[in-house]
Structure 1
Amino acid sequence: MSFRGEAERILSVVRGLAVIAICLAGCREPLVQEERIEPRPAAVPVARELRPGEIATGEITGAEPVVYRVELGAGDFLHATLDQQGVDALAALVDSRGRDLLAIDSPNGEHGPEPIIFVAEEGGSYFLEVRPFGGGGGRFALRVETRPATGMDRIRARACAALSRGDAALAGGAAERRQALRWYAEAIEGWRRSEEVYQEALAE
């Protein structure tokens, strides 16, 4: 196997471990915010509010995302779970200025959860976007839970942010791909530090 092929295999394995850890721990509670990535050129679309404990169902039929608004106070913990039901979708969290804070697409194809785990450092409106990934359409369900964040929530939120950054870096050149390995390692370490929550999720 060539060096490049071996490097790509290692990246795939490391990313897979990070995603599995986040999905398992996310079954309980998940995520924190990191300021991030490039601003989106378009304004945030009009979105209906999604309240804690509510489950929204919808369908992706084209290239446009489906958008929901959540209201968070400073220090609030957000755990959103996108359940893909026959559609490969990307779950994203966007701030009120239209900037992507997180973008998660797990390697689970058209079925299974996409977790968004976040702690709001500023109160206000945030937007959950269900974006089509790779074409096609299908149905989904989205559930949101919020509460005051704990120290462990912040560790897990940073891990989820590291995974999101790793995915973004993976799409770049050789230097960015090397940085992706560092982000994935940080994500794995975050879940290792929250071992008691991870083990609880495994047992359920």
Structure 2
Amino acid sequence: MSIGLVEISGLPCSGKSYFCDSKDGFLNKKQSSIIKVIMFEVKYILLGLLFLKFSVLRTFLSLCFKEKVPLKYKIKILRNVIKKFGIHSQFRNVAVDGFIDEGISHIPFNFLNSNTSDVIDVIKPFLAQTNVKYIKAESDFQLKERLQQRGHDRLKFLSVSEFIALNRSVEVCVLSEYPNVCLTFEVVKNA
């Protein structure tokens, strides 16, 4: 049975990568060599820039400047968003079974200081073509433990509790809107 292309999304440390690692067809698995990492980054950033309309890029740039982080991190957010669209552009018309960890469906979690509905409005046309599995983390305690173990760049600017609370508010909006805008949407409880 064909599963098609499925994006995996969810809160940071909710088990997305673990889910992808346990499946065949993990398409954007992290590379081990620095050369491969750089080639991956450059390729998908260029594809994303070619794919996105200037008006959409300008909107994402504006959203980046609403984030309460240093300029260097705002640039990182924009780079990650563009890269997600590069990956989306490569696989959107390809008949392939596989999983993408944190694709375009994950973009609202990049913008913690923006109105999540506004972010979803920007990506809605792309979500209409996207199958999404959402990994639901039930326990904030478990998230807090994992975040303290693994870390996250945003923890340089926020406490773990603030970070979880902001992500939970994004999650409420995503869980409310995605079933109506994604091609398919399924919530999966984490392990």
Per the normalisation by structure 1, the TM-score is: 0.29
Query: Larger % of helix: which?
Result: 2
Per the normalisation by structure 2, the TM-score is: 0.30
Query: Larger % of strand: which?
Result: 1
